[in-house]
Amino acid sequence: MELDVIVFETGDRRFALELKYVQEVFTLGHVTPVPLAPPAIQGSANVRGKMVPVVSIQTLFGLPTRSKVLPGTTAILTHVGETSAALPVRRVVDVVSVPQSRYEEGGQGSGPLIPGSFRGVAGSTPLLDIAAALRSIQRASVRANEAIHTRSEVR
């Protein structure tokens, strides 16, 4: 069995993402800041008439990132269930079918958002669990909204 993935770079890191979650690769236009959003949400962008959050993979992993996404940045539009998000990337490296035999669960760097990685010619590429990443951001958004409402009720 093979797994179809898109391999991309963000900052100085390389990741893979299952193609079943990728709607398209596109160029971001203006990104509108979203006040009080979790740190991983860099803003919101209009993609074919629909506003989608722009999510920083780097922030999710505690890596340095630009504070602002510039127009013209390449992004991967992901779709999981009813949730869409744009992931700004430095570049798309490849779209490949990876044999299951090259996939390793766990290992160095694995965790809730990285269940494993693929061995390749250029080393190991972590597989991003985008569904888990988006759930994590949604939980952070709910907590932020609850905190805002709690503060406003106290006043």
Q: What is the DSSP string of 72-86?
A: T-EEEEEEETTEEEE
Type and span of the H or E element at 23: strand 22-27
With H, G, I as helix, E, B as strand and everything else as coil, classify residue 108: coil
* CATH numbers and ranges of domains, the chain: 2-154 (2.40.50.180)
For the stretch 89-110, pLDDT in tens is 999 999 999 898 888 887 656 5
Q: What is the pTM of this model?
A: 0.85
At 23-72, the pLDDT tens digits run 999 999 999 998 888 888 999 999 999 999 999 988 887 777 776 888 99
Of 57, 60, 61, which Cα lies nearest the Cα of 73? 57
Percent of the chain with pLDDT over 70: 85
Alpha-carbon distances of 44 from 55, 58, 84, 137, rounded to whole Å: 9, 17, 11, 14
